[in-house]
Amino acid sequence: MTQAPLLQVKELSKTFGGIRALEKVSFDVHEGEILGIIGPNGSGKTTIVNGITGFIRLTSGQVLFRGRDIAGKPAHKIADMGVTRTFQIMRPYYSLPAYKNLVIPLFSPRARRTGGWRGGGRLGDRHTVGIDILEEIGFERDSHVPYKATATLPTGYLKRLELARCLALKPEIIICDEVFSGLSMSEIASMVPLIERLQMDGITLIMIEHRLRELFKVASRVMVLNFGRKLMEGPPAEVMADARVKEAYFGSREVREVMDHA
């Protein structure tokens, strides 16, 4: 690639007490690509997301976004720059109906500055925009799903709501922490085109997944983590074939089964 990477992660390290959750992990993300990150449970994937987006304080390392070091900045500033994330354990506003969940990010400084959402700041308009975004991301307007109480929504919708919150900010990058997990095969099948559409809209994606088959379909490159270290990185086919990956990562039976399907 000739262009400078959109996001450069350099020697990221994080220790929790004695546990080394991340050890000198470096990688680049280029504009418009989908980078997959895989690794066994507890290998540090969520820690990377938290580290990049400012939700935890890094022990050491640099995160360059468009050449600017964002490591150590508060989470809301990083999100304000367009580096957004979803939460592995979904964090919607349970006391509000689904569409009002989006009024909040639409009210954020970034959405008001860059959003170009129609209506600007007038009261009531963010509700309409929120419903539009939800419909775009797969909430059926006809069956009134956007109006339902968030607490009553099934996992699939909550995962979409996580993505919708990022979209409301008109993001540059979305870091998806396991948006496929907990979904049925058919639900994932309907999510995949959505992910592809986000990419076509020019949004760069980092996707952390345990569902390898689906990930390998959309990702242009995949990075493998093990015990907080980067094991390897490459195109999906190469990763799948690598002996070290198989040994370290696919030791657990369940994952091997998934692998066999792939």
Partner 1 sequence: MNQNTPQRRRERIDRGIKVRCQGIYSLMSWREMTYITAPRAALIAGLLALPLVMPGMYWQRVISIVCIYALLAVGFDFLAHFVGLVSLGGAFFVGVGGYLAAILNTAWALPPIATIPAATVIGATLCTLLLLPCLPLRGVYFAIVTLMYPLFLARVIEALDILGGTDGIMGIDGFGGRWTEQYAVIGMLLIVLFAVRRLVNTDIGLVLRGVKDNDQAIRASGMNVTRYKALAVFITAAMGCMSGAFLVHIYMWSGISQFALDFSILPIAATVIGGGGTLAGPVIGCLILVPVSELLRDFGTLRIVFYALILVAFIVFRSEGIMVYAQRKYHQFERWTQV
Ligand X SMILES: Nc1ncnc2c1ncn2[C@@H]1O[C@H](COP(=O)(O)OP(=O)(O)OP(=O)(O)O)[C@@H](O)[C@H]1O
Q: Which residues bind Mg ion (CB under 5 A)?
A: 45-46, 88
Please count the residues of this chain forming the interface with partner 1, following the rule CB under 8 A. Answer: 33
Rule CB under 8 A: choose which of 126, 160, 211, 221 binds partner 1.
126
Rule CB under 6 A: choose which of 7, 34, 38, 46 binds ligand X.
46
Q: Please report how close the Cβ of residue 170 comes to partner 1 at its closest, in angstroms.
A: 11
Supply the DSSP string of 168-229, one letter for each residue.
HT--SEEEEESSSTT--HHHHHHHHHHHHHHHHTT-EEEEE-S-HHHHHHH-SEEEEEETTE
d(CA 218, CA 195): 8
Number of Cβ within a 10 Å radius of residue 113: 10
Whether 221 and 36 have beta carbons less than 8 Å apart is answered as yes
> Pick from partner 1, ligand X, Mg ion, none: which does 44 bind, CB < 5 to 8 A by kind?
ligand X
Rule CB under 8 A: choose which of 88, 108, 181, 220 binds partner 1.
108
Please count the residues of this chain forming the interface with ligand X, following the rule CB under 6 A. Answer: 12
Residue 107 sits in the site that holds ligand X (CB under 6 A)? no
Residue 144 sits in the site that holds partner 1 (CB under 8 A)? no
> Pick from Mg ion, partner 1, ligand X, none: which does 43 bind, CB < 5 to 8 A by kind?
ligand X
DSSP state of 240: H
Which residues are 136's β-sheet partners? none
Which tokens sit at 70?
A: 């964002």
State how far the alpha carbon of 105 is from the alpha carbons of 110, 165, 169, 178, in Å.
Answer: 9, 6, 6, 21
Give whichever of 45 and 110 is closer to ligand X, judged by the CB atom.
45
Residues that bind partner 1 (CB under 8 A): 53, 55, 74-77, 79-80, 84-85, 87, 91-96, 100, 103-111, 123, 126, 165-166, 168-169
Residues that bind ligand X (CB under 6 A): 16, 19, 21, 39, 41-47, 88
